[in-house]
Amino acid sequence: MKEEKKSEILQIDGTMPHQINAADFSETSIEIEPPFKNKHGVIIGDSHYASPNSPLENWTAETDPEIMAGDEWVHPTNDIGWNSPENRELLESKRKPNAVPFMHPDKDTSKGTD
């Protein structure tokens, strides 16, 4: 229950206002996903960036950096990668167009002017 409440606070109208220049997922088909725990017991996507089980918090000379490689370390929607120009463009391409449909006038204002 507490975890659900936390993820509700992180998002408002398809955005994550706690991040400066956060990606705006509103009006796109992309849903903001909640944080998840990876196989190392590290919470990914909670925006706290520190976890007692994280290799970053327990780094030693023997720690292999490869341990933090792979998709299990990247959150699909709460990731700084959304700030890159390529991903911003991707997000804009998923936004619904705001075009107003063309409508024919129902009154002929030129009648009798010729």
Q: Which residues contact 18 (CB under 8 A, 6 or more apart)?
A: 10, 47
Whether 5 has a pLDDT exceeding 80, the answer reads no
Residue 51 lies in a domain: yes
Per the structure, how many domains does the chain have?
1
Give the range among 12-16, 43-47, 90-94 with minimum mean pLDDT.
12-16
Residue 108 lies in a domain: no
Residue 112 lies in a domain: no
Residue 68: domain span: 2-94
Q: Are 25 and 15 in contact (CB under 8 A)?
A: yes
d(CA 78, CA 9): 13
Residue 114 lies in a domain: no
pLDDT tens track for 61-88: 999 999 999 999 999 888 888 888 898 8
Residue 113 lies in a domain: no
d(CA 15, CA 47): 13
Residue 62 lies in a domain: yes
